[in-house]
Structure 1
Amino acid sequence: MPPQRALGVAVVGTGKMGADHVRRLHDVISGAQVTAVVDIEAERAKTLADAIDGCTAYTDAAAAMAAHDVDAVLIASPGPAHEAALREALGRDLPVLCEKPLTPDSASALRVLEAEQRLGHRRIQVGFMRRYDPEYMKLKRLLDGGELGRALMVHHRHRNLAMPPWFTEEMLISDSVAHEVDATRWLLDQEITAVTVHKPAPSSYAPAGMRDPQFVLFETRSGALVDVEIFGHCGYGYQVHAEAVCERGTVRIGDEHGPRLSADGRWGGRITPDYVERFEDAYDREIQSWVDATRRGGTTGPSTWDGYAAAAVCEAGVLSQREGRRVEIDLIDRPSLYG
């Protein structure tokens, strides 16, 4: 693709996340244009495509990827559909940004990883957007800098106002704690070796049959312990916090820093309602970084290996959640393609 031409992107999946990425690519990101949108619901795809000059609606991802004006693919469809789309893109040697999860389980993630290795170069970036959040980036720099010493523990809190009605208990791990899995691996630069899920008494606001909140404990290769509070129906807003406890100090991120109002004998501020607003800047940075790297002919950000490792940890987490026991994680040796 000539560097002066905008990157033609096909967005596969136009639900809440996909539609937001269509808006982002069209209105915010430089160097790219949405040339195709794909959704099994034809009318939804057509409505989005009709609002963008030069954009075509498809119901089949392979047909969109074969179009002459598609240079790259952004996958935002449900996780079970990712493997087929990823392998189609790799077969065409198209750059991909795939929203997490890479795939829903380690076996399918491994098949994608092996397909990319056969290609001989990286083409996939996985959408773990917290790596692009300014607060997480600052925490990473502090930990890498060494002035706080070795990280001994990390505390994560991940709270949602509520989950959609189709959200299952297993998805508390595979779709929500997946972010803390990647954040932990990235922040500490090491693999997670075991996971244990504990279930306190459920909130009265939890859906029938769901134990919510839950408490997840990771063990890492160096012996650090990492806990995650996942609360899917906290009822008051969306909050994500992390605190690293190190040998010579602690550092915490995620505290609200918006306007503080004092009036009518009260003081307080606003809590963001969902992840789209809380991590809007991170999503913008992530997509711009992907577009820039792709136009240079490269690949950046979380790799297929990161997607596979996260899938393996989440798979172990769901098993622990189901059986109430500690589960060890056994990854394959990391291929040289992923450094």
Structure 2
Amino acid sequence: MGELLGVAVLGAGHMGADHIRRLDRMVSGARVAAVADPDEARAREAVAGVDGVVVHAEAEAALDTPGVEAVLIASPGPAHEEALLAAFARGLPVLCEKPMAPESAGALRVVEAEARLGRRLAQVGFMRRYDAEYRRLKAVLDDGGLGRPLMLHCVHRNVSSPPGFTSAMLIDSSVSHEIDAARWLLGQELTAVTVLRPRPSAGAPQGLWDPQFALFETDGGVLVDVEVFVNCGFGYQVRCEAVCESGSVRVGDDRGPLVTAGGSAATPVPQDYLVRFAEAYDREVQSWVDATRRGLVTGPTAWDGYAASAVAEAGVRALERGARVTVDLAPRPALYA
């Protein structure tokens, strides 16, 4: 590889533009070599001030740009499978934002394609694994001093949902982060899910079941509950508490300066995931670049992406049926053992 890893970024929307900025200004050892987005005007706006970038409307044209050695996929979820398979065909390492594929069948096709290659090329963008607080929580659980985990209590709140957000997306878009975090923190697979629906908030768009309460079971006997509320109106909050045999540990309490004035005290609440997890995204992409330059893939695997899609799919069925649904995973290929 050259002195700087040449990265093609697919997608120049909210997430893609932030990754372009990150690669250009925050991450060492890489450069943005190409960007692809069907909206070329948006792509050119995202790369304004970035030198040496070639802009394309088509993803495969970006992958074939001279100097491209790796791919960062930040396009909408339905485009991920095709982009991943195109990258595999070219032998290009990939960091793919979640979901790896919206449906478990597509995610499994990606897993099977990578397994046929016989080597890992894909890392999936579950950035909470790179968050300083979540890493400390993982370290406490792995240490074992609190005994075995019994329950995880999770909270996932957004200020508001974007246009077109559906009731199913509370599970397969928002809660997918908790699904991966639970698998990683516990080292266990999620085997069943139940989704309960309180009455919708007055702040939720018409027809959107928001909030929801998801309950997951693991193959190690742990219960994981997630409150997801995507139109809470006041801020972006993510919390996780592990309750163990001899104690508990919690992360995600609101951070920031405590300002006391006018007879009250207040702490600012982040308004966006790019604010709350800014450092985690920086650490994730830097780690990916460093590993890629050494010829390695060290982060969440395509199997992790598939498992998250399969659990989320079961969660959507549980939401629709109002009943407990079991999770059926395909056999895990030896590549991910």
1:120 to 2:114 alignment: no
Aligned residue number for residue 305 of structure 1 = 303
The correspondence of residues 28-177 of structure 1 with structure 2, limited to 5 A, is: 28-177=26-175
1: CA distance, partners of 2:177 / 2:204: 21
CA displacement 1:161-214 (0-9 Å, x = unmatched) = 001112111110111000000000000001000001000011011110011100
SS for the counterpart of 2:235 is: coil
2: CA distance, partners of 1:141 / 1:11: 33
Root mean square deviation, CA, Å: 0.7
1:284 to 2:282 alignment: yes
2: CA distance, partners of 1:281 / 1:50: 23
Aligned residue number for residue 325 of structure 2 = 327
- In structure 1, what residue type is equivalent to 2:138? K
2: CA distance, partners of 1:209 / 1:50: 39
Are the aligned partners of 1:243 and 1:251 in contact in 2 as well (CA < 8 Å)? yes
1:186 to 2:180 alignment: no
CA displacement 1:250-296 (0-9 Å, x = unmatched) = 00000013100111110111000010000000000000000000000
1: CA distance, partners of 2:131 / 2:179: 16
CA displacement 1:199-238 (0-9 Å, x = unmatched) = 0011011110011100000000011100000001000000
1:227 to 2:218 alignment: no
2: CA distance, partners of 1:187 / 1:220: 12
- In structure 1, what residue type is equivalent to 2:264? R
Aligned residue number for residue 245 of structure 2 = 247
Are the aligned partners of 1:149 and 1:247 in contact in 2 as well (CA < 8 Å)? yes
- In structure 2, what residue type is equivalent to 1:337? L
Cα offset, 1:47, TM superposition: 2.5
- In structure 2, what residue type is equivalent to 1:333? P
More deviation, 224-233/63-72: 63-72
SS for the counterpart of 2:47 is: helix
Are the aligned partners of 2:97 and 2:125 in contact in 1 as well (CA < 8 Å)? yes
SS for the counterpart of 2:119 is: coil
Are the aligned partners of 2:255 and 2:268 in contact in 1 as well (CA < 8 Å)? no
- In structure 2, what residue type is equivalent to 1:324? G
1: CA distance, partners of 2:255 / 2:59: 41
Aligned residue number for residue 22 of structure 1 = 20
Cα offset, 1:49, TM superposition: 3.4
SS for the counterpart of 1:169 is: coil
Cα offset, 1:50, TM superposition: 4.3
Cα offset, 1:122, TM superposition: 0.2
- In structure 2, what residue type is equivalent to 1:279? F
The correspondence of residues 208-227 of structure 1 with structure 2, limited to 5 A, is: 208-227=206-225
TM-score using structure 2 length? 0.99
1: CA distance, partners of 2:327 / 2:145: 31
- In structure 2, what residue type is equivalent to 1:332? A
2: CA distance, partners of 1:156 / 1:49: 37
Identity of aligned residues (%): 60
1: CA distance, partners of 2:90 / 2:154: 39
2: CA distance, partners of 1:133 / 1:21: 16
2: CA distance, partners of 1:199 / 1:282: 31
Would you identify which runs of 4 or more consecutive aligned residues in structure 1 move more than 6 Å? Answer: none
2: CA distance, partners of 1:329 / 1:283: 29
Are the aligned partners of 1:49 and 1:56 in contact in 2 as well (CA < 8 Å)? no
Are the aligned partners of 1:36 and 1:49 in contact in 2 as well (CA < 8 Å)? no
- In structure 2, what residue type is equivalent to 1:20? D
Aligned residue number for residue 264 of structure 1 = 262
> Which residue of 330, 334, 337 corresponds with 1:336?
334
